[in-house]
């Protein structure tokens, strides 16, 4: 009888903990979607794991960044146990998402938490160049981002800026030393990317940089 009572008490405790966790799980992701940092911090202070994944397998910080829940993102970045180097199924890091969307202060916070500026494959600089985020590009370069980083198909930040970004983004990368002659796996240069994107101004900037980089003949 005594053993049965012990088993019953243990079972009730397990059920209670499971129910509380299930409730906290729902509350956590609702708080993120509602951009409610106070509710998030309250849950974390009670022991909820900030690295819990949602039903789609997304980290809470990724959910916040993808949903532009910026206050929620700050709360999670500031929490010391949050893994800021989580990845999406597309191998995107929180720093990449923040760079793409132009959230400069979040970029600063993530870098302060030792987020990887030079992760293998697609990098935060690729993403910042894609959206022409000049201040974030400059910040990443100050933090020693590799300017000619190559994606899995050898696309560089300059190529992304040429096709998707702005002439100003192209100019910044060229001024900082980006190699305008590099080619991706398809043999395309940054000029080709610019022309494919109908970015005549960017194509001319890159072509001028290539001409300038060629040694002059002797007279």
b or e along 170-209 (b: 16 or more beta carbons within 10 Å of the residue's beta carbon)? bbbbbeeebbbebebeeebbbbbbbbeeebeebbebbbeb
Q: Mean pLDDT, the chain, as a whole number?
A: 90
Domains and CATH numbers, the chain: 1-83 (1.25.40), 88-219 (1.25.40.20)
User: With bands split at pLDDT 50, 70 and 90, how would you rate the model's confidence at 216?
Assistant: low
CB 72 within 8 A of CB 40: yes
% of the chain exceeding 90 in pLDDT? 86
Contact between residue 75 and residue 40 where contact means Cβ atoms under 8 Å apart:
yes
Q: Answer yes or no: is pLDDT of 218 > 70.
A: no
Confidence of residue 6 (pLDDT cuts 50, 70, 90): very low
pLDDT tens digit string along 16-34? 334 335 579 999 999 999 9
Nearest to 75 by CA among 34, 41, 119: 41
Can you tell me the distance from the alpha carbon of 30 to that of 210, in angstroms, rounded to the nearest whole number? Answer: 52
Cβ atoms 196, 163 nearer than 8 A: yes
**Each residue's pLDDT tens digit, 33-46:** 999 999 999 999 99
**Could you report the per-residue pLDDT of 128-180, keeping only the tens digit for each?**
999 999 999 999 999 999 999 999 999 999 999 999 999 999 999 999 999 99
């Amino acid at each position: 009888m005594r053993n049965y009572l012990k088993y019953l008490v243990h079972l009730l405790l397990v059920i209670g903990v499971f129910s509380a966790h299930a409730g906290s799980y729902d509350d956590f992701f609702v708080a993120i979607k509602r951009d409610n940092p106070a509710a998030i911090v309250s849950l974390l202070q009670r022991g909820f794991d900030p690295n819990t994944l949602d039903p789609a397998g997304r980290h809470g910080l990724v959910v916040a960044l993808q949903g532009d829940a910026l206050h929620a993102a700050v709360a999670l970045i500031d929490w010391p146990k949050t893994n800021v180097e989580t990845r999406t199924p597309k191998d995107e890091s929180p720093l990449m998402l923040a760079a793409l969307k132009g959230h400069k202060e979040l970029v600063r916070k993530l870098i302060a938490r030792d987020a990887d500026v030079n992760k293998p494959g697609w990098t935060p600089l690729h993403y910042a160049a894609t959206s022409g985020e000049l201040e974030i590009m400059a910040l990443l370069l100050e933090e020693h981002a590799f300017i000619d980083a190559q994606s899995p198909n050898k696309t560089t930040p300059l190529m992304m800026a040429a096709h998707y970004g702005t002439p100003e983004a192209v100019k910044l990368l060229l001024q900082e030393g980006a190699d305008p002659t590099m080619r991706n796996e398809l043999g395309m240069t940054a000029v080709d990317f610019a022309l494919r994107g109908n970015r005549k101004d960017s194509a001319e900037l890159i072509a001028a940089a290539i001409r300038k980089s060629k040694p002059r003949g002797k007279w």
